Amino acid sequence: MNQENPPLDPHPLSEYVAWAGNRNREPILGVLKEKLPKDPARVLELASGSGMHINYFAPHFDHLHFHPSDMDEQVFDNINKLRQEHGNDNIADPMHLDLTNPDTWISPETKGAFSAIFCINIFQVAPISIADGMMACADHYLDKDGILLIYGPFQVQGTFTTDSNKDFHDTLSSAGVSEWGLKDVADLQKAAARHGLELKERIDMPANNFSLIFGRI
């Protein structure tokens, strides 16, 4: 097996996801250092998966309290294992959150509970329909100045920004899973607008990815 680039496998505990996570974590950390609150606050990660990202980022932000979440409760043991291994006492217990089911995140006491939300490398292996749930969730959870950061590869206005992104899209599509493939930033913007959010900034990232920063209109 080519250890530089394992075979495509979106399972959160796969070798491929671990490889991709290690490759992109430093550039994402750089953006988080710029965009996350400078004062004490709570930060939510959507679709935490194995917990590799939140456990890598948390030690860099002693003033922040991080909350992992995922729709698949089977990954919670791994998140907690990494939290213990890294001694991350600013990470809460993982919470069950399904973006297709508002009952898992809407409650009066959690309105405006977070100053930032981030989500990494989800949309290329998920249906674009979850964008509506993600924006509704962000509208509920974010405080008035809160931000939602979405990282990953995307099309822009129906166009692939690089040949490598087109190749990646073709590879995803060849797997035969209808929802796999690069989604369009415009579709995320449409979903955001339905929930009082807008794209504030699009940051070019290594490996032809983007960090998309959404906030309230």
pLDDT tens-digit map of 69-89:
999 999 999 999 999 999 999
Predicted confidence (pLDDT) at residue 3 exceeds the cutoff of 50 = no
The answer to the question of residue 103 being in a domain is yes
Q: What is the mean pLDDT of residues 206-211?
A: 93
pLDDT given for residue 181 in this prediction? 87
Taking residues 133-148, what's their average pLDDT? Answer: 97
Confidence of residue 10 (pLDDT cuts 50, 70, 90): low
Report the CATH number that the domain containing residue 113 is assigned in CATH: 3.40.50.150
> 188: domain range?
26-159+183-215
9 has a pLDDT exceeding 90 = no
pTM strictly above 0.75: yes
Q: Does residue 60 fall inside a structural domain?
A: yes
pLDDT category of residue 4 using cuts at 50, 70 and 90: low
Average pLDDT, the chain: 91
* Domain count within the chain: 1
pLDDT confidence of residue 2? 40
Tell whether the model's pLDDT for residue 213 goes beyond 90: yes
**50 inside domain:** yes
**pLDDT, average across residues 177-193:** 93
Confidence of residue 21 (pLDDT cuts 50, 70, 90): low
Residue 136 in any domain: the answer is yes
> What's the pLDDT score for residue 20?
63
The residue length of the chain stands at 217
* The pLDDT value given to residue 19: 60
Domain assignment present for 173: no
- Asked whether residue 6 is assigned to any structural domain, the reply reads no
Q: Worst-scoring range by mean pLDDT, 94-103, 167-176, 182-191?
A: 167-176
**Domain assignment present for 12:** no
In a domain, 120, yes or no: yes
pLDDT at 16: 57
Maximum mean pLDDT: which of 23-27, 132-136, 206-210: 132-136
